[in-house]
Amino acid sequence: MLEWLTFIIQLTIYGALISQLVTAPQLSANYQQFYAVGFIVMMTYDIGSHTGRHFVEDAHEGRLPYLLSLPISRTKLFLSMAIQGGVELILMLSVPFAITLALIGNLNIISIVAALVTLFCLGFGVTGVMLGLSFIAFKSADVYSAITVGLSSLIIRFSTVLYPLIFLPPGYATAAFFSPLTYGADLVRLILGFDPNILLDPNIAVAVLIALAVSTLGLGLMLLQRLVEGVKAG
Amino acid sequence: MALKGLDFTINYGEIMVLLGPNGSGKTTLLMILATVLKPTSGTAKVLGIDVTKQPTQVRKVLGIAFQEARGFWRHKPADILRFHAAVCGVPKAKRDVEIEEILKALELWDDRNKLFMHLSGGQAKRLETAKVLIQRPKFAIFDEPSSQVDLRGKREIWEQILRLRDEGSTILVATNEVREAEYLADRVTILDQGRSIVCDTVKNLKDKIAGGDIVELELEPGPDSARLQEELKQIKGTVNLVNTGENRYKVHVSMAEAWVPKMTNLCFERKARLLSVKVTEPSLDDVFLHFTGKALEAPKNA
């Protein structure tokens, strides 16, 4: 609920004000709409981070040994945590996404579904990254928080979440190619009808997002087996 | 705690108690058996299944009640058990009936709708035991099952563990409480600094101690008390004699059945009137002291 309220306030006050300042011929759509999509991508990143945080908290509060002792494989345990992240994503994005769709308007069901699939793919990718990080830092919630806050600063700032690639200074633009959010944000915007000239090639974005989701979830699974089940006992 | 030189086998259908002080490696061992930790060397098998090669198969036959009862803070005991039963494959039709039965047996029924975060330490600990009871695993592990639990609750937990054994489960209990070990154990393994020191039945362990029986005597005061005390020390089988008060003695003897008749004959000959005789066995505390040279501590964590 708090996230929804934050989104509504950000969009209606800050988004409306900033859209008066940010105008460019390349932005065929109102900047407020551009900003709304960017905010949703940021929320997707945050929700993915929460999933990793749940894991760290489980470890920190002593629930991890219980989860690890349940009669299920580590793969199923890992996937259940990723699915939990996916369900959270659905619930938490529902209202902001509906508001964004209403703001943009004039959409068909295919583009809505495609945008959602893109967000889920991005969400799973971020979840994989965060679960992987959480396995490295699972003994300390503070270490995990420090890593994710630092990472989020880099990943969000150096991306096209808030501004199109063509608006970014050369240094920022180069760095933005390394942020997964760039590909997620640009692909969602393309699907929702923004001008393709200010966005990345959608084929590259699709490939990057799928590769991200598969590789990070795979990496997370490997880390779970190596770092958690394989804790040195002596 | 590093484990080294740890070697023991549990027979099917028995309760093996791991008895050791804080830091002796009990919890580390249990975590390895539950596949939560992986050993760096050595072999551990649960019902013949290797914990490092087939951890998922091990988890399917094993249930563990952890030393620290940790649950999902905003869940209720009944919900926690329902989730646990579902994950462990307890048939849906049986779940609610068995949850009610176990919660009542462990005196948690009235608190079934309390949030986990509002349970007392003892209640949370009983809920931890309840998870294993509802699961009825082939191999059950209890890590200090009755710590933080009141005396009546302890007895109920112990009865439930014995019942689980009688229903066919093989059980491993880790504790540093002598009473708990004596109540539950079919056999005891004494652990110290990551090593298994000795493993046997409680009776055999006690019999292994020289002066394994204790005789407490009270005699009527007489003129030759000092001489009689010296003569009691000379009786064959006397290991140690301690004067615990005026004409009161605590005598460690190798075999009370043989020693007591000799002592009564001596008293009869010396016309010393025997006011009381009490024969007791050494406790597992004494056994631990005998084998490790240290007293068994009673702190919480292992």
ipTM score: 0.78
The reported pLDDT for the residue numbered B108 is 92
Cβ neighbours for B118, distance < 8 A, ≥ 6 positions apart: none
Question: Which candidate, A211, A233, A217, places its Cα nearest to that of A75?
Answer: A217
The reported pLDDT for the residue numbered B297 is 54
Nearest to A233 among B39, B55, B72 (CB): B39
* CA A40 to chain CA centroid, nearest Å: 9
> What is the 3-state composition of chain A as percent helix, strand, coil, each rounded to the nearest 5?
80, 0, 20
The reported pLDDT for the residue numbered A233 is 39
The reported pLDDT for the residue numbered B189 is 94
Task: Give the three-state DSSP class for B11.
Answer: coil
Q: If chain A, 234 residues long, is cut into consecutive pieces of 10 residues, what is the mean pLDDT of each piece?
A: 86 86 72 89 85 73 84 85 81 88 83 87 81 68 79 87 86 88 90 85 90 83 66 40
Residues of A with Cβ-Cβ distance to B38 under 8 angstroms? 229-233
Residues of A with Cβ-Cβ distance to B32 under 8 angstroms? 233
Whether residue B254 is predicted with pLDDT greater than 90 in this model: the reply is no
Domains of chain B: 15-206 (3.40.50.300), 210-281 (3.30.70.100)
Cβ-contact A85, A123 below 8 angstroms: yes
Backbone angles phi, psi at A91, to 5 degrees: -65, -45
* pLDDT per residue as tens digits for the range A115-135: 888 888 888 888 777 777 776
The reported pLDDT for the residue numbered B242 is 82
Residues of B with Cβ-Cβ distance to A66 under 8 angstroms? 66, 70-71
Two structure tokens written together for A199: 């966005």
* pLDDT per residue as tens digits for the range B137-194: 999 999 999 988 888 889 999 999 999 999 999 999 999 888 899 999 999 999 988 8
CA distance B60 to B73: 26
Residues A14, A16, A17, A22: is their CA dihedral positive or negative?
Answer: positive
Mean pLDDT of the region B31-55: 90
Residues of A with Cβ-Cβ distance to B130 under 8 angstroms? none
Interface test with B, best of A63, A70, A76, A139 (most B CBs within 10 A): A70
What is residue A232's DSSP assignment? Answer: B
* pLDDT per residue as tens digits for the range A44-69: 888 877 777 777 777 767 787 888 89
Two structure tokens written together for A87: 């369900």
Region at A111 (left for phi over 0; alpha for psi -120 to 50; beta for the rest)? alpha
| Average pLDDT of chain B to the nearest whole number | 88
| Element holding B200 (H helix, E strand) | strand B195-200
Q: Which one has a higher pLDDT value, B225 or A203?
A: A203
Interface residue B12 vs chain A (CB under 8 A): no
Radius of gyration of chain A (CA): 19
**Residue B65 Cα distances to B1, B93, B137, B161, angstroms:** 20, 24, 11, 11
* pLDDT per residue as tens digits for the range B88-104: 999 999 999 999 999 99
CA distance B202 to B213: 14
The reported pLDDT for the residue numbered A90 is 82
Residue of chain B nearest A60, judged by CA positions? B70
Two structure tokens written together for B175: 């504790």
Question: Which candidate, B87, B107, B109, B88, places its Cα nearest to that of B97?
Answer: B109
Cβ neighbours for B126, distance < 8 A, ≥ 6 positions apart: B106, B107, B108, B149, B153, B157
The reported pLDDT for the residue numbered B29 is 92
pTM above 0.80, yes or no: no
